[in-house]
Amino acid sequence: MDKQITAFLDYLSVERGLAQNTISSYALDLKQFKAFCRQLGVTDGGRIDRSLVIRYLVDLKNKGRAPATISRQMATIKVFCRFLVDEGVLSKDPTANLESPGVKTKLPDVLGQEETIKLLEQPRTGNTAGLRDRAMLELMYATGMRVSELLALNVDNVDWQQGYVRCRGKGAKERIIPIGSVAKHYLAEYLARARAKIMAGKGEKALFLNMRGRRLTRQGFWKIIKKYAREAGIKKEITPHTLRHSFATHLLENGADLRSVQEMLGHADITTTQIYTHLTSAKLRETYDKCHPRAVK
């Protein structure tokens, strides 16, 4: 379970961009849960089941832990178990439908459509790094891929004739996502004018390379997107997941159906995708209050 927890904490840091204090809180909660599991002979995350989680929560209650503490522990275990499902370690989520009193779902931060365009237009495409960055950002927003999926792409994962990209998501599940003309344009420009200049060796398969000619890392991508967010004057907290969240929200705002968005995001369970309906509902409320003559008096 140690390696699984380490991978989970890395995911929180790199892909979700959580603050170090928040990650430390997750780490402490999982350290306590791991100790309880080991007392019962469970040392692999793949053996976590519903009964084990319930026994742990009951144990916390019997020890007199505050309801807020139990709720926080429950929230941590839920996120960890969903991660293990996505990674293929667990076949199903043992915490599904378990009540977690007092814990509200935190809606992800998303960019408005104008903010997104401003972010995407920041890279200077007259130079090699800028052209690579524009292609990456455009492709990520065009597909809603996780940053790990984006950076795992090889050149042959792009089907130019059919206009889609083939990526391998969590749990080694492969999916096909269409890409629009703008992303295709900048991707083609990057391949024609930039990639060969920075490629370290002829055998390099990675689509996106760092300036040393090797596959770009998640940490490298995070620095890139935060740099352009600053240059765009965006005050919201930006993470590598922000474009993914924005992709889903903008599709729903413009009439896409939930099932299609679920498939493009690679969510195993549609309830994970449904969080974006809360965001679009909030947008509808805002529009209604702003535009209806008798909405707010």
Within 10 Å of residue 61's Cβ, how many Cβ atoms?
A: 13
3: nearest Cα among 84, 59, 90: 84
pLDDT at res. 102: 43
Please tell me whether residue 132 adopts helix, strand or coil conformation: helix
244 is catalytic: yes
Has 278 been annotated as catalytic? no
Distance (Å, whole) CA 221 – CA 209: 10
- Looking at residue 85, its pLDDT comes to 92
At 177, the amino acid letter reads I
- Tell which residue, 105, 103, 102, 84, has the closest CA to residue 94: 84
Q: Are 166 and 153 in contact (CB under 8 A)?
A: no
**Range(s) within the chain of domains with CATH label 1.10.150:** 2-86
| Residues of each domain in the chain carrying CATH 1.10.443.10 | 113-284
Query: Choosing from 26, 190, 228, 276, which is the catalytic residue?
Result: 276
Residue 49 is classified by DSSP as -
CA 161 to chain centre: 28
**Cα angle vertex 279, ends 182, 111, to 5°?**
40
Element (H, E) at 168: strand 164-168
214 belongs to the catalytic site: no
**pLDDT value of residue 281:** 62
> By three-state DSSP, how is residue 116 classified?
helix
DSSP string of 81-113, one letter each residue: HHHHHHTTSSSS-TTTT---TTPPPPPPP---H
The one catalytic residue in 132, 244, 245, 250 is: 244
Annotated catalytic residue within 134, 241, 245, 250: 241
Whether residue 276 lies in the annotated active site: yes
| Gap between the Cα atoms of 164 and 160, Å rounded | 7
Please classify residue 227 by burial: count the beta carbons closer than 10 Å to its beta carbon, then call 0-12 exposed, 13-18 middle and 19+ buried: middle
Which residue(s) pair with 209 in the sheet? Answer: 215
Residues of the chain with pLDDT below 70 are 99-108, 171-172, 201, 271, 278-289, 291-297
55 is catalytic: no
CB count, 10 Å around CB of 1? 21
134, 245, 250, 267: the active-site residue:
267
CA distance 134 to 121: 7
Q: Return the CATH class of domain 2-86.
A: mainly alpha
Task: Look at residue 21 in the predicted model and tell me its pLDDT.
Answer: 86
End-to-end CA distance of the chain: 56
- pLDDT tens digits for 132-190? 999 999 999 999 999 989 999 999 999 988 888 998 877 667 889 999 899 999 999 99
Query: 194: burial class by Cβ within 10 Å (0-12, 13-18, 19+)?
Result: buried
Distance (Å, whole) CA 25 – CA 19: 10
**pLDDT for res 16:** 83
- Residues 148 and 234: their CA atoms lie apart, in Å, by 23
Asked if 11 is an active-site residue, the reply is no
Q: Which residue of the set 170, 184, 195, 218 is catalytic?
A: 170
Domain 113-284 falls under CATH 1.20.20.10: no
Distance of CA 82 to the CA centre of its chain: 13
Query: According to the model, what pLDDT value does residue 103 have?
Result: 43
Q: Which of 82, 146, 195, 245 is catalytic?
A: 146
CA–CA distance, 86 with 16 (Å, rounded to integer): 15
